[in-house]
Structure 1
Amino acid sequence: MTDLPTQARVVIIGGGVVGCSVAYHLSKLGWQDVVLLERKQLTSGTTWHAAGLIAQLRATANMTKLAKYSQELYGELEGETGVATGFKRVGSITVALTEARREELWRQAAMARAFGVEVEEITPDEVGARYAHLNLDGVLGGVYLPKDGQGDPSNIALALAKGARQRGALVQERVKVAGITRQGRRITGVDWQGEDGSAAHITCDMIVNCAGMWGHQVGRMTGTNVPLQACEHFYIVTEAIKGLSRLPVLRVPDECAYYKEDAGKILLGAFEPVSKPWGMAGIPDSFEFDQLPEDFDHFEPILEAAVKRMPMLADAGIHTFFNGPESFTPDDAYHLGLAPEMDNVWVAAGFNSVGIQSAGGAGMALAQWMQDGEKPFDLGDVDIARMQPFQGNKRYLVERATETLGLLYADHFPFRQKASARGLRRSPLHAHLDVRGAVFGETAGWERANWFARPGQTAEYAYSWKRQTFFDNVAQELAAVRNNIGLYDMTSFGKLRVEGPEAEAFLNHVCGADMSVPVGKIVYTQFLNARGGIEADVTVTRLSETAYLIVTPAATRLADETWLRRHMGAHRAVIIDVTAGEAVLAVMGPNARKLMQAVSPNDFSNATNPFGTAQEIELGLGLARAHRVSYVGELGWEIYVSADMAAHAFETLWQAGEGMGLKLCGMHMMDCARIEKAFRHFGHDITCEDHVLEAGLGFAVKTDKPAFIGRDAVLRKRETGLERRLLQFRLSDPEPLLYHNEPILRDGQIVGYLSSGAYGHHLGGAIGMGYVPCTGETAQQVLASAYEIDVAGTRVRAEASMKPMYDPKSERVRA
């Protein structure tokens, strides 16, 4: 009979490589009473059939940090545990067959250098020299990462499991979690059943959902949302090829293919553009080391291209045609962290075919997070709190997963929009914008007008790394906002109403700024963590003596609400998500006051409605609330109007504004305008690991009020001095474009990378924001250096500034 303890500090559900990594790293931190339960045998879900590619370079610095940690860990595991992991640093080559792909690779190479990853851009001849079997027809170049590797996925997982056991963790196979008990927002234990018929209950302090393809199902059991969908994933393994020796991993993303040499054979895998979701009716309980039915017709186009690309495959027999399931998420990023719906349910699942290269780092980061109670560094890309409740909808997941698998090897163009599972969340103004040429993008399920097509212009994206079809449109929209009036829809931004007799005291506890303000006052503030890092960047409007409205970015509404709930303590207040209840129209530009006076009898003068205040107004035949605030650096108002009156409000503003030259604008314009004004973008310029003072936001922190989260860290930083500063950059050459992650060079040396970038149409060049080390230096010393930005391998001179390059004294917003 299976004999398990009746109590544990943590129960980990799932014995794939990720679950084993979490157990390993928790035990390495000294945790006792760690129990891992695997329903069948370790690795029997997805891990056993993974390709085992281990790459270092990911889309952001912290994801790269985690991938680098994984390959370093796997190189040491065999010595620690005696289990052979098969880890080899064979290097990797990715080749480009188009100019667009080459620019993407060149930009990735520049980013790699900024992240401290060894990389080389190589010519077609150099590709051939490193991979002699390749047909170089159409190859324009490539990138080579010498320290990338490959390994044996199952043995890596088994080595992690053994390492966990050696430190006292219990890793139990053939035991299924049959039920979860909970009380309020906390799990109290798990019911388990062994294959031998035994069953019992384990009381636990917390659980970790590492259930892979079953993660969505286990999430439902725990009352949490874990959006992922299994898809079929195909590869073939050839018979042994005579004379085939060790080769780098090869990726040819333009042909949706990757190649791995192992033991004299070639593994050819695919990320086809249209994938095949699987298991929609549920994954069978009996699933264990199972394969799915072959579908040669589906794989055949990939194989035909591969035979041309690597001619020796034409004569190689196929030893294995493999089809196995792997789990994919709505945005191709895995799920990690504390589930928003519960206070002791952690998640590490949905690894989108990069589970082996991610597992080591993900397990380390999650274990540290569990140990400290806060993220060890910014994990916003993968934090489970980014997922919206609707994304757990099974039909949505099937439709989106059909696309997301293929996007792994698609061109990762800037502003690329998902094509599937669209149209779900719409502003009450959607139809009005649609008929006027709006081109929509998606954020957190919201359809948002990103730009407006001119009459006769095709209202859709044509993606490129260069100037895209909307470049001139956005320039015209920005010109309207800078010189006249623009109107855009901000309905998607999150709106959280905090109300109660202790709402003021509660918000003073979680916000850096002072919330003891008059009714009608708007306060710009941050939620800080204990290190002084920025957990949220919001505005807070006092609506009454007992009620406030917090406005957050659309993508972080749930995360920000979760932060508030977890820090409520004993304060008598409630938090209500009112996002869908009000539409928001932004009226911005030097003539914004003229338009507002034309549609409302209220007084919009500085005397009555100064910057940073809100007032109830009449608008047309209805009512609204006008917030005098701006994210574009101009005089303007955000008009909050109940959803039922939103269409009328739009029509009233549009009819009055047409004769004034009012122009509809989109989110791309807003981003260009905010970066000219050096306004920070949460998730890029400011994150949980960026100190509020180093981000240049000390003006928004009031340390003379009673204790608040992060106050001590702010005071310490003021005493010890800044270690880095956030600067604004403008390229001297007006042609190159900036997006983010481009290396910053100071006096010829890489010192950092851009946290965000956009084109400054008014300032006449690409604008970037980024942190630069400054320990022991004055602001003048930092600015005295010569700066360059590396754009796809070309260094471009840049002007640096600590003050906003546009309207540095904010005279325009206060006009």
Structure 2
Amino acid sequence: MADFPTTARVVIIGGGAVGASSLYHLAKAGWTDCVLLEKNELTAGSTWHAAGNVPTFSTSWAIMNMQRYSTELYRGLGEAVDYPMNYHVTGSIRLAHSKERMQEFERAKGMGRYQGMDIEMMSPKEAQDVYPFLELHDLQGVLFDPHDGDIDPSQLTQALAKGARDLGARIERFCPATGVSRENGEWIVHTDKGDIRCEYVVNAAGYYAQRVGEWFKPYGGRTVPMMVMSHQYMLTDEIPEIAEHTKHHDKLPLLRDVDSSYYLRQEKTGLNLGPYERNCKAHWVTPDDPMPSDFSFQLYPDDLERLEWYIEDAMARVPLLGKAGINKVINGPIPYAPDGLPLVGPMPGVPNAFEACVFTFGIAQSGGAGKVLAEWITEGQTEWDMWAVDPRRYTDHTDTDYCVAKGMETYGHEYAMHFPWHSWPAGRDRKLSPVHDRVTAQGGVMGAYNGWERANWFAQPGDDTSEATTQTWNRAGPWEPRIREECEAVRDACGVLDLPGFSRFKVQGPGADDWLRGLVTGALPKVGRVGLLYFADARGRIVTEMSVTRFAEDQFILVTAATAQWHDREWLERHMSNACAFTLEDWTDRMSTLIVTGPKSREVLGAICAADLSLPWLSFQESEIAGDWVALLRVSFAGELGWEIHALNEVMPAIYDAVLAAGARPFGMFALNSLRIEKGYRAWKGDLSTDYSMLEAGLDRFVKLDKPQDFPGKTALQAEKQHGSAKRFVTLRVDAGAADAPYMSTLWQGEQVVGETTSGAWGYRINASVALGMVRADLAEPGTRIEVEIYGERHSAVVQPDQPLWDPQNERLRG
């Protein structure tokens, strides 16, 4: 075809709301040489049958940012692109049936107010004032979000498409992509109308994203972690009382009974009821139910029997619903990632390929997703830390069975509270430690970390380990005395923590030293020593943290968080040239780790190995335990005298047995979290994220601005050093109640928001609640009094000196 584009800078595959938003935001960023391909008409996938709800509510900081941005964009989009929009900002009420739900709402309210939204709590009676048809039985309270509402999904998509076209971008409808190939560093996207050469490709194919993703597997890709759910909602006939109400008032606010698991929205002069039922149904997951080649503008047959309980519950809450007949039932496909959050960001393992797909709430999130995706492509980084939706958060444990099990669990608990002590049961035992059976036999209550099973705590006979006990935000529960005992064992004697799944990379060969030195913000350790390395982006913000063991001048082992495996490997590989003489190998699956720590750890190890245990902190040596090779690193994330034992998987059982026999007591991840917070040690993607610069995070000692090598972020950090940081990292001693501060708890001074927490826990060695956080720089002085908002209640807190609360001089650590 003469007019068909043969080249572009970016090709987007998929013409739903997310694809159109991505094209629009790329064009707004000045990248107008972009093409969107849609196999049918725009909106033909999940977009056309979406309910169109636009909430801002989330307890994820990243998701709330995306959704808040969407609402701000949509309010002015029609005028900005000169396209008619049906966007109703009605507000919404979320009903709470329990104290725990009220606490969740209070947390979301605090986060929302920090982001500038006037979210507020209401009594049930106050909610009835704005929703007069509401029954108040068994309600504790209500969250009111004035920015919530609904939008016409097709109009939204067409408006974004028009805005993109007006800026010079192109949209090719009825033009299915049929595959991709790569040649001379360029992508070639194949279609029936011809090929398009481009620099970047975006998979925005909605519930077809997994099929499109398979095209990239020959170039380093993986199967997209997703499945497809059947979601039904029903529209009623006109309800006279609502018709009359609408003559004199705005539309009713959108109602969500999250404990019963449905939304109820005014639709014209009737109602729209959409449940998320526990007895849900997946589609296209078995050989006798294959995904069709084209499901454009199609629906599944009605299946209302699954919804009976939810319909009856909704009729009891809003009796008007029972007076109306059903006008229409929509039963369509919605894609689900295992955690219910979308995939937005770099496609794992594939150069210049991105994902913007698997959106469960695509209408609400499409505006923010387009912004984030455009930033990833045009700037290589995003304004907000977006790890919550980064495709690299999943690795190689997400096969079909896992995705189906987790997707159905997430759908059936769409409105569930995510309690800090609770582990979801579906999709477990994907990656097991070499000593998994030994750990569980000792009472290990397990949690999944990038698919790896680790003990969170160790139950004793008689302890209640049922899911019901974990339905609390408070620290008290059957785990609490056990965590205390585990922390005390580490404090007074010796503990051992089985820690499988550390991401582990071996870098060796000529030039490895110079390459690594030019990539990190600080210095490298000497041969035989261990150190911490920090990697920054161009803004000086924290990309990741790795420990490094230096075996030789040009031989290093880099160790990082389990969840960071694909993220950190991609960061390293991205900065390697094709001409480099050194190699990078992923050893994550070959080895495992034990943490052996506490004042008696030298005695424990001395009884089972001949290593020189007098070597100082941050030293490394090779030795043998139970006749097998081990690497002993003199470090401890618990902040006590201790070592990490690294060994091959096949020999770890004998080593673990020897450590236990020598007197070490097992401890779990919950205890480790408490121990590390007392020492002020940061955790990745909580305390350490791209929301903060190296200097803001208090990592000045790991920044060497005077070293001759340039490194990413050096210029930005030099400027920040000169002008000062807006925020500073602090440790807070908190006068907490029954709960410790969760991530992103708001910090107050008087009536002014002055910062946020990044993590918090009870410190059993100092017998106090501790929070780590970021505060306005002028308030970072020790002794400053502020308040921490924990689930709606403010608690006094004091900024601590810039040293650990436990063992401030590190005497025990170095002993």
Q: What displacement does 1:270 show?
A: 1.2
Partners of 2:706 and 2:754 in 1: CA distance: 35
Equivalent residues of 2:235, 2:273 under 8 A apart:
yes
Equivalent residues of 1:57, 1:117 under 8 A apart:
no
Residue in structure 1 matched with residue 495 of structure 2 by the alignment: 486
The residue matched to 1:579 in structure 2 has which SS? Answer: coil
Partners of 1:491 and 1:519 in 2: CA distance: 26
Residue in structure 2 matched with residue 754 of structure 1 by the alignment: 757
Residue in structure 2 matched with residue 208 of structure 1 by the alignment: 202
Q: Is 1:291 paired with 2:327?
A: no
Q: TM-score, normalised by structure 2?
A: 0.95
- 2:18 aligned partner, one-letter code: V
Partners of 1:693 and 1:257 in 2: CA distance: 45
Residue in structure 2 matched with residue 63 of structure 1 by the alignment: 63
Residue in structure 1 matched with residue 93 of structure 2 by the alignment: 93
Matches within 5 A, 1:348-427: 348-352=356-360, 354-391=361-398, 393-427=399-433
Equivalent residues of 1:438, 1:459 under 8 A apart:
no
Residue in structure 1 matched with residue 722 of structure 2 by the alignment: 719
Partners of 1:343 and 1:436 in 2: CA distance: 45
Task: From the superposition, tell whether residues 314 and 335 of structure 1 become closer, same or farther in structure 2 (CA, over 3 Å).
Answer: same
2:331 to 323, 330, 333: 323
Task: From the superposition, tell whether residues 537 and 460 of structure 1 become closer, same or farther in structure 2 (CA, over 3 Å).
Answer: farther
Task: From the superposition, tell whether residues 296 and 61 of structure 1 become closer, same or farther in structure 2 (CA, over 3 Å).
Answer: closer
Residue in structure 2 matched with residue 145 of structure 1 by the alignment: 145
Partners of 1:800 and 1:265 in 2: CA distance: 54
Task: From the superposition, tell whether residues 733 and 192 of structure 1 become closer, same or farther in structure 2 (CA, over 3 Å).
Answer: closer
Equivalent residues of 1:274, 1:403 under 8 A apart:
no
Equivalent residues of 1:400, 1:421 under 8 A apart:
yes
Q: What displacement does 1:592 show?
A: 0.9
Partners of 2:164 and 2:636 in 1: CA distance: 52
Equivalent residues of 2:279, 2:306 under 8 A apart:
no
Partners of 1:274 and 1:671 in 2: CA distance: 36
Q: What displacement does 1:735 show?
A: 3.3
Task: From the superposition, tell whether residues 411 and 59 of structure 1 become closer, same or farther in structure 2 (CA, over 3 Å).
Answer: closer
Q: What displacement does 1:279 show?
A: 1.7
Residue in structure 2 matched with residue 785 of structure 1 by the alignment: 784
Equivalent residues of 2:741, 2:788 under 8 A apart:
no
Q: What displacement does 1:105 show?
A: 1.4
Q: What displacement does 1:459 show?
A: 3.9
Q: What displacement does 1:755 show?
A: 1.3
Task: From the superposition, tell whether residues 786 and 747 of structure 1 become closer, same or farther in structure 2 (CA, over 3 Å).
Answer: farther
Residue in structure 1 matched with residue 440 of structure 2 by the alignment: 434
Partners of 2:81 and 2:787 in 1: CA distance: 47
2:239 to 229, 238, 241: 241
Residue in structure 2 matched with residue 736 of structure 1 by the alignment: 739
1:690 to 689, 692, 695: 692
The residue matched to 1:812 in structure 2 has which SS? Answer: helix
Q: What displacement does 1:734 show?
A: 5.2
Residue in structure 2 matched with residue 347 of structure 1 by the alignment: 355
Q: Is 1:598 paired with 2:604?
A: no
Matches within 5 A, 1:450-599: 450-461=456-467, 462-463=469-470, 464-466=472-474, 467-515=476-524, 517-569=525-577, 570-599=579-608
Partners of 1:572 and 1:460 in 2: CA distance: 54
Partners of 1:154 and 1:791 in 2: CA distance: 40
- 1:571 aligned partner, one-letter code: C
- 2:457 aligned partner, one-letter code: W
Structure 1: any 5+ residue segments left out of the alignment? 194-198
- 1:580 aligned partner, one-letter code: D
The residue matched to 1:54 in structure 2 has which SS? Answer: coil
Equivalent residues of 2:543, 2:690 under 8 A apart:
yes
CA deviation vs aligned residue, 1:40-69 (integer Å, no higher than 9, x gap): 111010011111111223233343222121
Q: What displacement does 1:115 show?
A: 2.7
The residue matched to 1:181 in structure 2 has which SS? Answer: strand
Partners of 2:370 and 2:613 in 1: CA distance: 54
- 2:444 aligned partner, one-letter code: A
Q: What displacement does 1:639 show?
A: 0.4
Q: What displacement does 1:5 show?
A: 1.0
Residue in structure 2 matched with residue 106 of structure 1 by the alignment: 106
Aligned residues: 795
Equivalent residues of 1:484, 1:590 under 8 A apart:
yes
1:222 to 211, 216, 228: 216
CA deviation vs aligned residue, 1:632-671 (integer Å, no higher than 9, x gap): 11110000111111000011111111xxxx3210111111
Structure 2: any 5+ residue segments left out of the alignment? none
Residue in structure 2 matched with residue 260 of structure 1 by the alignment: 265
Partners of 2:434 and 2:232 in 1: CA distance: 43
Q: What displacement does 1:187 show?
A: 5.0
Q: What displacement does 1:697 show?
A: 0.9
Partners of 1:2 and 1:396 in 2: CA distance: 46
Q: What displacement does 1:416 show?
A: 2.7
Partners of 1:69 and 1:453 in 2: CA distance: 44
Residue in structure 2 matched with residue 610 of structure 1 by the alignment: 616
- 2:610 aligned partner, one-letter code: P
Greater shift after overlay, 211-220 or 402-411?
A: 402-411
- 2:611 aligned partner, one-letter code: N
- 2:450 aligned partner, one-letter code: A
Greater shift after overlay, 688-697 or 2-11?
A: 2-11
The residue matched to 2:756 in structure 1 has which SS? Answer: strand
Q: What displacement does 1:91 show?
A: 0.5
Q: What displacement does 1:778 show?
A: 8.1
Equivalent residues of 1:113, 1:743 under 8 A apart:
no
Q: What displacement does 1:580 show?
A: 1.7
The residue matched to 1:543 in structure 2 has which SS? Answer: strand
Partners of 1:212 and 1:453 in 2: CA distance: 43
1:672 to 668, 674, 678: 674
Equivalent residues of 1:104, 1:412 under 8 A apart:
no
Equivalent residues of 2:17, 2:47 under 8 A apart:
yes
Partners of 1:437 and 1:556 in 2: CA distance: 28
The residue matched to 1:694 in structure 2 has which SS? Answer: coil
The residue matched to 2:507 in structure 1 has which SS? Answer: strand
The residue matched to 2:806 in structure 1 has which SS? Answer: coil
Q: Is 1:273 paired with 2:281?
A: no
Residue in structure 2 matched with residue 446 of structure 1 by the alignment: 452
Task: From the superposition, tell whether residues 573 and 588 of structure 1 become closer, same or farther in structure 2 (CA, over 3 Å).
Answer: same
The residue matched to 1:580 in structure 2 has which SS? Answer: coil
Q: What displacement does 1:116 show?
A: 2.2
Equivalent residues of 1:177, 1:191 under 8 A apart:
yes
- 1:753 aligned partner, one-letter code: E
Partners of 1:30 and 1:704 in 2: CA distance: 36
Partners of 1:773 and 1:703 in 2: CA distance: 24
CA deviation vs aligned residue, 1:655-697 (integer Å, no higher than 9, x gap): 111xxxx321011111111111111111011112311111111
Q: What displacement does 1:243 show?
A: 2.8
1:335 to 343, 366, 381: 343
- 1:233 aligned partner, one-letter code: H
